[in-house]
Chain A
Amino acid sequence: MSEIKEAAGRITEIQRFSYHDGPGIRTTVFLKGCPLSCVWCHNPECRSFEAERGWLENRCARCGLCVSSCPAGALSLGERMTVDSDRCLSCGKCVSLCPNRAWKEYGREYAVSDLAKELKKDRAYFEKTGGGVTVSGGEPLSRAEFTRALLTKLKEDGIGTAVETSAFGREEDLLSLLPVTDHFMIDIKTTDDRLHRELTGVPVGPILHNIAALSAKGADILIRIPLIPEVNGNAENLTATAAFLREKTKIRRAELLRFHKLAAFKYDSLSLAYGALSFRTPTEEEMEAAAELLRANGIEAFYAKKEKTV
C-alpha cells in the first residue's frame, strides 16, 4: 500500500440520513480506495484510489456531447457508455459539460476541516438518536492519518463517531483510531485464508489479528458477516468464525448481512465487470439457519428481516 498517498482526503460520497451504519441517524462518509477487491462488493465506486466518474444511464439523453468533447477520446457510446480507463485523463470535462447531470463524480478531495463542517450539518439529528458520523470505505485504514484527523476533529466537536473497516491494514493504525471512535463495524467474510484471498485478493491473517488486538483494548466492535450461500454460508465457515470470536476476542455478537445484487448497476455505470452475478441472495430460511448456527456456537447473531413493513 506504499503507493497510497497519506492524508489525502479523497471522498467517494457523503450519505446523510444513513441508518444502517451504526446507531441512530448518521452521516456516512465513504472514503475513496480499498485494498480489497471483494467479488460481491456493493460499493465498486469506492474501490479505486483515483477519482472516477460514473455514467447514469437513466439520466443520459444520448446527446454524445461528452464523447465528442473528451480530449482523450476515452468515451464511446453504443447501447451503453464505456470508458477506456487507460486513456481517461480524469479531467472531468464529461461531468462539467453534461446538460443532463448524467455523469457523477466520485473522488472529490476535502481538507479535514471542510469535511468535518459538512459532516456536522445533521448534528441535531445525531444528538436526538445517539447517532453521529461513520467513516466507511473504501478502506479508512488506507487513509489512516486522514481518518484519525477527521475523527479527532469530530470528537472535539462532540460528534459521535464510528468506523466501518475491513480491518485490513496496520495494527497501529487501527489502534490509533480507538481513542476517537465510539463504534467499530468490521466484516468477517471467512476465516479461511485461501478462500479469503480468492474472494477479496488479500490474506485474512492480518484482519483476524487486528480484530483480536482491537477487541483486547476494549473497543466496541460489531462484527458483520455478509452471507452468500454459495461462498461462506456453509456450516464449517460459520462455525470457524464463531470459534475465532469466542477464542480470540471478547466479541459475542454478530450481524448477518444479506447479500444482494442491487449494486450490479453501479458496475455498469463504471464500465466494470460484476463478478457476483452467479451468487444468490440468501432466503429467509438460510438467514435464520445461519443465525441459529452462530447462536449454537455462542454468538448472538441477528439480521434485518426481509420484508420490513410499517
Chain B
Amino acid sequence: MNITEIAENNVRKAEKLIREKPVNSTWIERIFLMDDAWRAFEGQPQPIMMGNGLAYVLSRCSLPVDPDDLLLGRFAEKVPDEAEEARFLELLRANRLRENPIFCYSGGHITLDCAGFVEKGISGYIDMAKERLERGGEDENGTNFLRGMVLTYTAMRDYILRYAAAAEKAGKPDAAAVCRNIAYAPPQTFREALQLLILLFNVYMAYGSAMVACLNFGRIDDFLLPLYEADLAAGRMTREEAGAYFDDFSCKCSLHLGRGEHQMFDGTEPKATGWDRNPTFDSPTYVDIGGYSYRTDHKSNPLTRLFAEHIHPKLKNPVFITRLTKEDDPDLFRLLCDKARQNATILFYNDETELPAFRSLGIDEKHALDYSMHPCNWPDISGGSGIVGGFGGPVPIMLLNLFAKRRDFSSVDEIIAALSEQFREEVRAVCAGYRARFRGPKPASDGMLNLNDVFIEGTVEAARGITNGGARYPALYGQIRSVATAVDMLSSIGTLVFDRKICTFDELDDACKDDFASRPDLLAAALRAPKYGTDDEYADAIAVKLMNALLDVIDEETVNEKGEKDVLSLNTTITDTWYIGQGAGMQATHDGRRKGQPISENLSPTRGVNDSVTALLNSVSKLPFRRLHSGAFNVRLRKDAVAGEEGLDRLCVLLSTFFEQGGIQAQLTVADTAELRDAQLHPENHRDLTVRITGYSAVFNDMTRNAQCEIIARDENT
C-alpha cells in the first residue's frame, strides 16, 4: 500500500472503531496511573503535583504503535478484567475518575496557542519557563506556578522522546526520527508539526484531563502553511502525502471517543453505549479552516482546500469550524457544501459578521482575525483567551423573573426596557468583579496551575493562570439564550394584550401559571401569534429589538468611565442542550409553550412553527450578528432537497444567501424524519447516520432513545 492507501485504510478503521468500540472499553491504564500519581504526590503544592503527576503517568503509560501509523499517538484502552473492573467502579463511585484530580485539572474547552506551540516547539516552552523562573520576582505561589510549568513541559518532552524509542523498537525509524526532532527543536516540517500537535492532544485528552476536556487546535490551515509550502518546494513531501498525514491526524483525533452522546443523556434509560466510562466522554476536537488571515492569502490558501478535500463525513472528529468570507473560491465553498450534505461535522461561520464583532472588543487586529470557537460553538480568541465568568442566560427565564416582580406594562417596548434594566444589574455586578480581578494591580498568585494555562499566550510571563490574570484576554460569556421562546413570548403578549386586547397581561400571565388549564382560548390564541423564524416582520422586529437592547446593555457596561472597553464579553446565543432541562423545570410561557416543554434550541425557532427553510434563514439572518461572537444554528434538511447536482446547487445558494444576508453560523443535518424513525426501528440499516447535536455530532444509533426523539422533534426545515 502507498501512503494514501494506508491513510484511507486508517480512516476506515477509525470510522469502524467509533461505531463498534466495545461499550465497556475504557482507559483503565490511565485511570489507575492517575490514581496512583494522586496518592504519590498528595501534599505537594498543586503546580508541583501537576508536573510530577503528569511525569509519573507519561513516563509509565504504554505507547502503542500500529504498523500503519503515519503519526504516532495512541493510548491503551481495553475492556477491564474482573479485578480491574472492581477498582474502576470503586473510583467511579468515589468520583476519582470523573472529577479529574485537582493536581492535574483541565476542563479543556479552549483554543490553545497551537500556532505558538508549532513556532516554539516544546523545547522553546521549556526554555521560556526556565528563563522566567530564573528571573524570579515571584512569591512562593508564583514560583511554584513556574516550577510546575517547567515540570509539565518537561514531562511532555520526555513523553515525545519515549514515543521515539517505542517507534524505533516497532520498526518505524522515520516516525522515531520525527519524534526526536520535535523533542529538541520546533517542528521543521508539516509532518513534524502534525505529530507535535497530536502528542500534545494526547497529553490533554488521554492523560491530563477529564470532563469532556475538548480542544480546538486553531487555524491549522493558516499556521501550518509555511511548513507545507517549504516541504513541497524542497521536494520533501507531496500534496498527496500531506493529505495522508492529515487523514491520520483526523483518525488520531477520533480514537479517544467514547460511544454515545453525553449532553442529552437524561438518566431515564440504561446507558448502553458506555460513554460515561470514558474520561473524556464523546468529546469533540475542533480545527479551524478558512477565513481572513494576516499570515496567508486566504483566497488561495492551498491547505484550506486540501483539508476540505480530506473531511471524512463518517468521522465525528475533527469538527471543522469553517470560516467563510465573501471572497472565497466558489469551488471550495461547493466542496464544503458537498461534504456538509453528507453530514460531515462542519460548522460554517461567517467572517463578515464575526470580524466586526471581534474587532468591536478592542483587541489586536491579529487576535480578532484569529477568532475561534471551542467546543461547543463557544467563542474564543486563539491562544490568547480563557473564560473567567459570565452573565445572562435563557432570556425566557429572565422574562419570567421580571414578570414575577412587575406586571403593569403597556407595550412590548416597555417590557424590553424593563428587562434591559434588570439585565443591567447583573451585568454591572459581574463587570465590577471582573475589573477587580483583572483591571487592578497584578493580583497575588493563587498558586494554581491548570493544564489549560500551559499553552496560552502570556501565562509564563505573568506566572499566573488564565483565571488569575495570566491570559491576555480573560473573557466573560455574555449569554443571550433561547431567543426564539423569548421573542415568541413578547410577540404573543404584544398581539393578545396590547394589539388585539383579547385579554389583559394579568390574565395571560395567570393562564401561564396554571398551564392554560382554565384558558384554552388564550393558549390557542398564543399559539397563533406571530412567531420568530417564519419570516414574519412583527416577530422578527421584536427579535432584533430585544437582542439589540440586551447587547446595548453589555456594550454600555463593559466600558470604563473614560469610554474605553475594559471588560471583554464574548456574546453568544449558545444553548448547548440545556434548553431541554431548563424547559423541563419551567412553567408554561406566554407564547403557548406548555409547562415542561423545552424552550427554544440555539438560534432555532420554537418547535413546530417551521414554515420553510428560506423563511427560516431570512428570519434568522435579521438578527444583529455583527454584535455577537458565536451562535449555533441547526438546520435539518431532507435528503431530497439537496440530492444530485441540482440539490448541491440549491444548498450552496441557501447557505451563501443566508451568509450574504448577515447570518452568523449554520450546521446541517441531512436526514428525513422518516429516515430517523426508521433508524430507531432498524438501526442495522443506518449504521453511518450521524446527526448534529449542538457543536458536535453523534452516531444516531449510539444515542439513547429519548435523545433520538429529541433530534426527530427538531423540525425538518423544508
Where the two chains meet, the residues of A that have a C-beta atom closer than 8 Å to any C-beta of B are 15-17, 19, 25, 27, 63, 65, 96-101, 121-122, 124-125, 128-129, 308-310
Residues of A within 8 A of B521 (CB): 97
Given A16-B613, A99-B524, A124-B660, 16 extra CB contacts under 8 A: A17-B641, A25-B614, A96-B525, A97-B524, A98-B524, A99-B592, A121-B614, A125-B653, A125-B657, A129-B649, A308-B640, A308-B643, A308-B644, A308-B647, A309-B643, A310-B639
Residues B653 and A129 in contact, CB atoms below 8 Å apart? yes
> Is there a chain A Cβ closer than 8 Å to B523's Cβ?
yes
**Chain B 645-663 per-residue mask, 1 if CB under 8 angstroms from chain A, else 0:** 0110110011011001100
Q: Report the bound CA distance from A255 to B296 in whole Å.
A: 50
Nearest-neighbor residue (CB-CB) of A94 within chain B: B524
Residues of A within 8 A of B643 (CB): 308-310
Residue A310 contacts which of B342, B516, B649 (CB distance < 8 angstroms)?
Answer: B342
Given contacts A97-B524, A124-B657, contact A129 B650 (CB under 8 A): yes
Q: Report the bound CA distance from A192 to B487 in whole Å.
A: 57
Residues A310 and B650 in contact, CB atoms below 8 Å apart? no
Q: Which 7 A-B pairs have the closest CB atoms?
A: A16-B612, A308-B643, A99-B523, A17-B612, A122-B614, A17-B614, A128-B653
Nearest-neighbor residue (CB-CB) of A19 within chain B: B650
Residues B639 and A309 in contact, CB atoms below 8 Å apart? yes
Residues B654 and A124 in contact, CB atoms below 8 Å apart? no
Given contacts A19-B646, A25-B614, contact A128 B657 (CB under 8 A): yes
Residues of B within 8 A of A99 (CB): 516, 520, 523-524, 527, 592
Residues of A within 8 A of B608 (CB): 101
Residues B618 and A121 in contact, CB atoms below 8 Å apart? yes
Q: Report the bound CA distance from A27 to B643 in whole Å.
A: 19
Residues B611 and A16 in contact, CB atoms below 8 Å apart? yes
Residues of A within 8 A of B657 (CB): 124-125, 128
Q: Report the bound CA distance from A170 to B30 in whole Å.
A: 82
A sample of 20 cross-chain residue pairs with beta-carbon separation below 8 angstroms, ordered by A number, consists of: A16-B612, A19-B641, A19-B650, A63-B520, A96-B525, A97-B521, A101-B527, A121-B535, A121-B615, A122-B614, A122-B618, A124-B657, A124-B660, A125-B654, A308-B640, A308-B643, A308-B647, A309-B639, A310-B342, A310-B647
Given contacts A101-B527, A310-B639, contact A124 B661 (CB under 8 A): yes
Residue B653 contacts which of A16, A25, A98, A309 (CB distance < 8 angstroms)?
Answer: A25
Given contacts A16-B611, A17-B613, contact A65 B520 (CB under 8 A): yes
The smallest C-beta distance from B36 to any residue of chain A, in angstroms, reads 50
Q: Report the bound CA distance from A308 to B660 in whole Å.
A: 29
Residues of A within 8 A of B646 (CB): 19
Q: Report the bound CA distance from A217 to B471 in whole Å.
A: 74
Q: Report the bound CA distance from A98 to B608 in whole Å.
A: 15
Q: Report the bound CA distance from A17 to B535 in whole Å.
A: 13
Residues B527 and A310 in contact, CB atoms below 8 Å apart? no
Residues of B within 8 A of A98 (CB): 524
The smallest C-beta distance from B334 to any residue of chain A, in angstroms, reads 13
Q: Report the bound CA distance from A98 to B653 in whole Å.
A: 37
Residues of B within 8 A of A63 (CB): 520
Q: Report the bound CA distance from A17 to B614 in whole Å.
A: 6
Q: Report the bound CA distance from A129 to B653 in whole Å.
A: 8
Residues of B within 8 A of A16 (CB): 611-615
**Chain B 600-633 per-residue mask, 1 if CB under 8 angstroms from chain A, else 0:** 0000000010011111001000000000000000
Residues B647 and A25 in contact, CB atoms below 8 Å apart? no
Residues of B within 8 A of A128 (CB): 653, 656-657
Residues of B within 8 A of A309 (CB): 639, 643
> Is there a chain A Cβ closer than 8 Å to B642's Cβ?
yes
Q: Report the bound CA distance from A101 to B593 in whole Å.
A: 12
**Chain B 489-527 per-residue mask, 1 if CB under 8 angstroms from chain A, else 0:** 000000000000000000000000000100011011101
Q: Report the bound CA distance from A25 to B615 in whole Å.
A: 13
Residues of A within 8 A of B342 (CB): 310
The smallest C-beta distance from A70 to any residue of chain B, in angstroms, reads 14
Nearest-neighbor residue (CB-CB) of A96 within chain B: B524
Residues of A within 8 A of B650 (CB): 19, 25, 129
Residues of A within 8 A of B642 (CB): 310
> Is there a chain A Cβ closer than 8 Å to B528's Cβ?
yes
Q: Report the bound CA distance from A101 to B523 in whole Å.
A: 10
Residues A97 and B614 in contact, CB atoms below 8 Å apart? no
Q: Report the bound CA distance from A309 to B670 in whole Å.
A: 11
Residue A17 contacts which of B525, B592, B718 (CB distance < 8 angstroms)?
Answer: B718
Nearest-neighbor residue (CB-CB) of B535 within chain A: A121
Residues of A within 8 A of B98 (CB): none
> Is there a chain A Cβ closer than 8 Å to B157's Cβ?
no
> Is there a chain A Cβ closer than 8 Å to B277's Cβ?
no
> Is there a chain A Cβ closer than 8 Å to B219's Cβ?
no
Nearest-neighbor residue (CB-CB) of B521 within chain A: A97
> Is there a chain A Cβ closer than 8 Å to B323's Cβ?
no
Residue B528 contacts which of A96, A125, A308 (CB distance < 8 angstroms)?
Answer: A96
Q: Report the bound CA distance from A46 to B650 in whole Å.
A: 27
Q: Report the bound CA distance from A122 to B618 in whole Å.
A: 8
> Is there a chain A Cβ closer than 8 Å to B341's Cβ?
yes
Residues of A within 8 A of B644 (CB): 308
Residues of A within 8 A of B341 (CB): 310
Q: Report the bound CA distance from A25 to B612 in whole Å.
A: 12
Residues B612 and A15 in contact, CB atoms below 8 Å apart? yes
Q: Report the bound CA distance from A125 to B617 in whole Å.
A: 11
Q: Report the bound CA distance from A99 to B646 in whole Å.
A: 40
Residues of B within 8 A of A19 (CB): 641, 646, 650
Q: Report the bound CA distance from A124 to B657 in whole Å.
A: 7
The smallest C-beta distance from A282 to any residue of chain B, in angstroms, reads 18
**Chain B 518-561 per-residue mask, 1 if CB under 8 angstroms from chain A, else 0:** 00110111011000000100000000000000000000000000
Considering only residues 220-272 of chain B, those with a C-beta below 8 Å from chain A are none
Nearest-neighbor residue (CB-CB) of B516 within chain A: A99
The smallest C-beta distance from B673 to any residue of chain A, in angstroms, reads 11
Nearest-neighbor residue (CB-CB) of A15 within chain B: B612
The smallest C-beta distance from A266 to any residue of chain B, in angstroms, reads 17
Residue A97 contacts which of B520, B611, B615 (CB distance < 8 angstroms)?
Answer: B520
Residues of B within 8 A of A17 (CB): 612-614, 641, 654, 718
Residues of B within 8 A of A65 (CB): 520
The smallest C-beta distance from B605 to any residue of chain A, in angstroms, reads 14
